[in-house]
Chain A
Amino acid sequence: MIKFLFDIDTWQEVYDSMSKNKLRTFITMIGVWWGILLLIGLLGAARGMENSFNKLFGDFATNSVFMWAQSTSKPFKGFQEGKRVQVTLSDAQKIRDNVEGIEFVVPRNQNGSLVVRKFLSGNFTVAGDYPLFDKVQKKKMMNGRFINQNDIDDNKKVAVISDDIYKQLFEKDEQAVGEYIEINSINFTVIGVFEQGNIGMGDQIHIPFTTFQQIYNQGEQIGFMMITGKPEYDILQIEEDAKLLLKNLHRVHPEDKRAFGSFNLGEQFARLTGFLTGMQFLTWFVGIATLIAGVFAIGNILLITVKERTKEIGVRRALGATPFEIKRQIVVEAVFLTLVAGLMGIISGGWILIWLDSAFGQGEDATLINASVSIGIVFLALLILVTLGTLIGLIPAFKATSVKPIEALREE
């Protein structure tokens, strides 16, 4: 069989029977070509979309939940409903120590303030943060650094600002690090400028948590906390456990739904990931269905070809071709057709991806980032093609040899 595949005559026969009717061969191949082109184009686009989502969430710990305190909705242990609840630093500490699967607990405070620099000013959200915050929401520093432990320990009056604020408070090309800005009429030294990501938290100025406590007179209270779970833990469970713990600490009814608010980023992210998975499934489905349709087109054409060539096949058999030799030839034709059409589909699919990349994949907010298909998938598709081609080739092959040579010869 191997020898047969490397025999020039085998391919001469394939070439002869194909070039005999070029148009038919061409149209047949279009089916498979289109199928694999679609598969690659769709898979690449889906991957590009996934990549762009990933970039959007890239510098963000996705397995996280935000939690804050509100007021109770149920009376409990002698307290009336409507009691204001406040979370404190010690709550955050307790959550970190007692809830299973937690990676970080980051307490935060936020406040809107007037920020002035020389003659420029604006109202911005000022956030009191620990250095840990940089771990859960990675800041891309353009200049300088983020808040460190020293700043916290010494209640330093330093600020890290976003590039947006930099543009509003500073002249173009002006050096920001080391300059002073006025927050709540208190001078702060700018120690860093960061690039605002695609997902902003709304806050654009970060100052040390302890400094924030001081200037806004917050005491131990915290506005909200961000809890991130270890990757192998379910963030929904962590959210539930943390809330229950908070309810215990603050004497809130366990069934109270309002006392503590939360936003589960992990859940939202999972939803999005689910959507992407669904889209990928759809892509595969459409691509493979088209591919199968294309392969069937090949089978159909081969069947017609075989019918047309009944007489020729009869002659060949009269000259001593065994049924196996006839079948083998037809199957090789089918596989060759699918393979060539498939390869052309892969190549033009690659062009489509290149085009997609240049049309939608460039710049900051590209909709498709690095639209691509892994080589493994390409080979898998090719393997499927060849398998289908073989199977579909068997139909006309058996049809061809089911006719007795004498009947085939009689055919006019």
Chain B
Amino acid sequence: MLKINQLHKSYPIGDSSLHVLKGIDLEVETGEMVAIMGSSGSGKSTLLNIIGMLDEADSGDYILDGVPIKNLNEKKAAIYRNKFLGFIFQSFNLINYKNALENVALPLYYQGLKRKERLEKGKFHLQKVGLLDWAHHLPSELSGGQKQRIAIARALAADPKLLLADEPTGALDTKTSYEIMEFLQQLNDEGKTILIVTHEEDIAEMCKRVVRLRDGVIEEDKKVNQVRASQYV
């Protein structure tokens, strides 16, 4: 599904540069649920951004679903993002003047689907996250958990091969966090590959595999016994 080989990335800071990723090797199989852990500055978000094609590595190989991701221009990157990836952000990043359904249907717009088709698909995914009744509400009228579920529905809308979640529970309380995790576990059970960046141990334990980053290298990579979120809810 995903193969990363000797990935390096540094950011210029003034005259010097900060070496954030110092040779990452990572392989993720289809159907895995991986938590990428690490303290702030460990490079976990950078890694996720490179996997998400939002950022480009300085050197190293990255192969996603058999396609080498290299020297992408913006247009190609956009098409790949749309086709392969679903993003879930810490701050939800819903478009605040669009209602829930329109937000969910937005990736489909960029896929060139007809409006009717888009709204149908959007409704299907809203149903999936249990928020069909809220389809015509604006994000400002929704709670944090609801917003994140809308964001997940949006990430799912384009039927991506890989879900990338950047601190998906970072802005939520514990109970809501577990609800979101329960939902993500369900998606994983259905076969979706999910990558979650987090710094919370309990969230990481709800994944099937934990990759720990420290100072730009992988410190630990182990399979864990998944803790089901449903038992807390």
State the A residues within 8 Å of B (CB). 8-9, 16-17, 19-20, 311-312, 314-325, 401, 404-406, 409
Taking a contact as CB atoms under 8 Å apart, the answer to whether A20 and B110 are in contact is: no
B178 interface contact, C-beta 8 A: no
Contact indicator per residue, chain B 84-102, by CB within 8 Å of chain A (1) or not (0): 0001010001010110000
Residue interface mask B29-59, A partner, CB < 8 A = 1: 0000000000000000000010010110000
Q: Is the CB of B54 within 8 A of A406?
A: yes
1/0 per residue B145-160: CB within 8 Å of A? 0000000001000100
- Contacts known (A20-B97, A311-B93, A406-B54); A9 close to B109, Cβ less than 8 A: yes
Q: CB within 8 Å of A: which of B70-123?
A: 74-75, 78-79, 81-83, 87, 89, 93, 95, 97-98, 106-107, 109-111, 115
Q: Which residue from A319, A323, A404 sits with its C-beta under 8 Å from B75? A: A323
Complex interface: chain A residues within 8 A of B97 (CB): 16-17, 19-20
Q: Which residues of B contact A315 (CB under 8 A)?
A: 89, 93, 95
**Given that A404-B55, A405-B54, A409-B54 are known contacts, is A322 also in contact with B79, CB under 8 Å in the complex?**
yes
B49 touches A406 (CB 8 A): yes
Residue contacts A-B, CB under 8 angstroms, 25 given: A9-B109, A16-B97, A17-B97, A20-B97, A315-B89, A315-B93, A316-B95, A317-B74, A317-B81, A318-B52, A318-B87, A319-B81, A319-B87, A319-B106, A319-B110, A320-B78, A320-B83, A320-B110, A322-B75, A323-B78, A325-B110, A404-B54, A406-B54, A406-B55, A409-B54
Are B78 and A317 within 8 A (Cβ)? yes
The reply to whether A324 and B81 contact each other, CB–CB distance below 8 Å, is no
A318 to B158 Cα, complex, angstroms: 12
Residues of B within 8 A of A19 (CB): 97
Main secondary structure of the interface of B (DSSP, over half): helix
Among A19, A314, A320, A406, residue most surrounded by chain B Cβ atoms (within 10 Å): A320
CB distance from B152 to the nearest CB of A (A): 13
* Measured CA separation A9–B111 after assembly (Å): 13
Instruction: Please give 17 more A-B residue pairs, beta carbons under 8 A apart, in addition to A316-B95, A405-B54.
Output: A16-B98, A17-B97, A19-B97, A315-B89, A316-B106, A317-B74, A319-B87, A319-B106, A319-B107, A320-B78, A320-B110, A320-B111, A322-B110, A323-B74, A323-B78, A406-B49, A409-B93
**A-B contacts at CB below 8 angstroms, number:** 65
B74 touches A401 (CB 8 A): yes
Cα A325 to Cα B74 in complex, Å, equals 11
Count of chain B residues with a beta carbon within 8 Å of a chain A beta carbon: 25
- A16→B96 CA distance, assembly (Å): 10
Contacts of B87 in A (CB 8 A): 318-319
Minimum CB–CB distance from A61 to chain B (whole Å) comes to 68
- How far is B112's CA from A325's CA once the two chains are assembled, in angstroms? 11
Interface pairs A-B: 4 shortest CB-CB: A320-B82, A406-B54, A320-B110, A322-B78
* Nearest CB of chain B from residue A12's CB, rounded to whole Å: 8
- Cα distance, A20 to B110, chains bound together (Å): 21
Asked, given contacts A16-B98, A315-B95, whether A320 binds B158 with beta carbons under 8 Å apart, the answer is: yes
Report the nearest A residue to B73, measured CB to CB.
A323
| CB within 8 Å for A320 and B74 given contacts A9-B115, A16-B98 | no
Q: Is the Cβ of B79 less than 8 Å from the Cβ of A320? A: yes
CA distance A405 to B83 in the complex (A): 17
Q: Which residues of chain A come closer than 8 Å to B154, judged between CB atoms?
A: 319
Q: Which B-chain residue is minimally distant from A317 (CB atoms)? A: B78
Q: Contacts A319-B107, A319-B154 given: A324-B82 contact, CB under 8 Å?
A: no
**A318: chain B residues within 8 A (beta carbon):** 52, 54, 81, 87, 93
Q: With both chains docked as a complex, state the minimum distance between the C-beta of A251 and any C-beta of chain B, in angstroms.
A: 91
Residue of A nearest to B74 (CB): A323
The residue in chain A whose Cβ has the minimal distance to the Cβ of B151 is A315
**Max count, chain B CB within 10 A of own CB: residue among A17, A322, A323, A324:** A322
Bound complex: CA A319 to CA B110 (Å): 8
B95 touches A312 (CB 8 A): yes
CA distance A1 to B74 in the complex (A): 20
- From A325, which residue of chain B is reached at the shortest CB distance? B110
User: Contacts of A406 on B, CB cut-off 8 Å?
Assistant: 49, 54-55
**B98 nearest CB across to chain A (Å):** 7
Residue from the set B109, B115, B158 with the largest chain A CB neighbour count within 10 Å:
B109
Query: When chains A and B are docked, how far (Å) is the Cα of A324 from the Cα of B74?
Result: 9
Please give the distance in Å from B197's CB to the nearest CB on chain A.
Answer: 14
Complex: how many Å from CA A315 to CA B75? 15
Q: How far is the CB of B126 from chain A (nearest CB, A)?
A: 16
B49 to chain A, nearest CB (A): 5
A8, A311, A321: the one contacting B110 at CB < 8 Å is A321
Whether the pair A321, B78 counts as a contact (CB closer than 8 A) is: yes
How far is the CB of B18 from the nearest CB of chain A, in Å?
Answer: 15
Which residues of chain A are within 8 angstroms of B75 by Cβ–Cβ distance?
A: 322-324
- Most B CB contacts (10 A, CB to CB) among A20, A319, A401, A404 go to A319
Find the B residue at minimum CB distance from A311: B93
